[in-house]
Amino acid sequence: MLIAGIDAGSTKTKAVVYDCDGRLIGEGVSGPGNPHDLGLSQAKKNVTDALLQGSKGARVDFAVIGFAGMDTAEDEVTFSRFFSDVAVRTESVHDSVIALFSETFGEPGIVVIAGTGSVVVGYDGKTFRRIGGRGWLLSDEGSSYWISVNLLRWMQQVFDGLEEGGELFDFMRVKMNVSVHDDLVRWAYDNQCMKDRIASLAAYLDEAAERGIEKAKDFLRLGATILAERAKVMMRRVNVRTVVPKGSLFKSRTYYRAFKEEIERAGGTILDRGNPPELGALYLAAKRAGCQKVVEAIRRARTR
């Protein structure tokens, strides 16, 4: 019997396949797996590709898929139905669930995801509760996109003479190839429908922070703090202290440190072994399929 864990993310899909005796069969990687970005059919093709790579072409008995973009009850129904025949039995879950379980292995915890968007999900051992995670227009506080928009609006205010520019302003103008005010306007609206491109400015901010530019650190810290505040609300709500940070923005040392400090000041503990999300999906699949040897193998390998 084969079981699989799949992370259908916004930039790529990753799958890991085991047999029920705890042996790794293989891993697979393919294109994005977010049905909202790609359409259901193309997402399914990418998910299937990654899965078949991992299983060396064999049919998998139980697969758990964690989806980026599973944001409404309607999505849950649609995705679950559409992806049901990817394996003999398939379960579709929110990507925060697999991100959390990749670190806690079924134990209660709070996962905070900060990538292009942001979300805080708490699990008390029974139910999952969420704060945010509803996209750029409604609730992306502390995310790369949110931080980048703050940066863009600040640059606009510098051009308008409402704010002081200084080192960060000069740094960003070089990075973005913005010489006059109109260049900034063009940059912003040429990229308005590409959330990822705008969000990528956060990486420049981190580069500036690493060079010691304080204003860049401020932008990153503000994002980390606002998201930590939400994590703290969740800590009280589910009565759990373990916090798992996930997502590309936590690769920024400035951001990570500011977040960690806030959480620890509130009595929380950061849990971050760097396990990939598909491992959380695999853990869930193993539990559901009753493959205890896989559960133990994962715990042994990944909690050291």
In the complex, which residues of this chain contact a copy of itself (CB under 8 A)?
Answer: 71-74, 130-132, 134-135, 137-139, 149, 152-153, 156-157, 160-162, 182, 184-186, 188-189, 192-193, 230, 233, 237
CA distance 40 to 27: 23
Nearer to a copy of itself, 182 or 210 (CB): 182
Single-letter amino acid, residue 64: V
Q: Least distance to a copy of itself from the beta carbon of 264, Å?
A: 22
Pick between residue 161 and residue 212 the one whose CB is nearest to a copy of itself: 161
Task: Check if the beta carbon of residue 171 is closer than 8 Å to that of residue 212.
Answer: no
Token pair for 227: 């998201």
- State which residue, 37 or 49, has the beta carbon closest to a copy of itself: 37
CB of 64 to a copy of itself, least distance (A): 23
Are 283 and 102 spatial neighbours (Cβ–Cβ below 8 Å)?
yes
Structure tokens at 247: 């997502």
- If residue 113 lies in a helix (H) or strand (E), which one and from where to where? strand 109-114
What does the alpha-carbon distance between residue 43 and residue 46 come to, in Å, rounded to a whole number?
5
Q: Shortest gap between Cβ of 208 and a copy of itself (angstroms)?
A: 20
**Tokens representing 202?**
């956060």
Q: How far is the CB of 157 from a copy of itself (least distance, A)?
A: 8
For a copy of itself, give the closer residue by CB, 153 or 300: 153
Reduced DSSP (H G I as helix, E B as strand, rest coil) percent helix, strand, coil of the chain, to 5 = 55, 20, 30
Identity of the residue, 1 or 77, whose beta carbon is nearer to a copy of itself in the bound complex: 77
CB of 159 to a copy of itself, least distance (A): 9
Q: Which is nearer to a copy of itself, 45 or 237 (CB)?
A: 237
Residues in the chain: 304
Q: In the sheet that 128-132 helps form, which strands lie side by side, from edge to edge?
A: 128-132, 118-123, 109-114, 242-246, 269-270
Q: How far is the CB of 247 from a copy of itself (least distance, A)?
A: 19
